[in-house]
Amino acid sequence: MKYKNIFFDLYGTLIDIKTDDYRPEIFYHLVNYLNYEGIRIEKEFFQSRFEENIKHQLAVSLEKYPDVDIKKAFFETILSFGYNTCDYILDTIMKIYRSLSLLEFKVFDDVHKVLSSLKKDFSLGLISDAQTLFLSKEISILSLDSYFSSITHSSVLGFRKPDERIFKIALDKHNAKANESIYIGDSIKRDIGSKKVGMTFILIKRGESIYDEEFSEADIVVNTLEEAQHFIRSNI
């Protein structure tokens, strides 16, 4: 068998998602929640202070492809108003923030069928640019968590795709060799790092989520996961 491991991107590949992270009403509701926890913050300043903390994280990072820690940004924002807080409140803020920012959130139609089939013959892993809490909750909500033997995500690392290190870390965590592994993702720009470390890179073009990019850098280009599965099973 040539391939033993299949790694997947999450958002745009398995999950069809659209978000609007900076709608003012989101932060209005967050401040209302904080008021119930005894944290009094002026609504008109909370969002701008949060955005400043996000920009600061990116500005001070030494990484070429930095990722942000949204939980840390909320902690520092609340602290800037003179309040300390705990993980429970921060996690609750994160959940409210994410749930209110979601405009569309579902698995693509072919996902469960293909993952169930591939899991019988291959070891599956997940490599995602994601916040820890968002990813863990969302793969559970959509019943994706049982498919994967390993999960590697960017926010705990401080850098994101296409940094080759995230793919190397994922391979090590999975105890997998690059030349025995496939990576399936929906973006040349972000996911080309998989090919650079020696994995076979399958680019999936998902309808309206198609990126206007040069597809020739991918090893294979498909329109559905079922097409990807056909290629994989034809090369084992």
Q: Does domain 5-17+105-234 have CATH number 3.40.50.1000?
A: yes
Q: In what order do the strands lie in the sheet with 123-128?
A: 150-153, 123-128, 5-8, 181-185, 200-204, 220-222
Q: What residue spans define the domains of the chain? A: 5-17+105-234, 19-103
Give φ, ψ of 34 to 5 degrees.
-60, -35
Q: What digits encode the pLDDT tens for the residues 187-236?
A: 999 999 999 999 999 999 986 544 545 667 899 999 999 999 999 998 87
Q: What is the mean pLDDT of residues 117-128?
A: 97
Residue 99: per-residue pLDDT: 97
The predicted model scores a pTM of 0.92
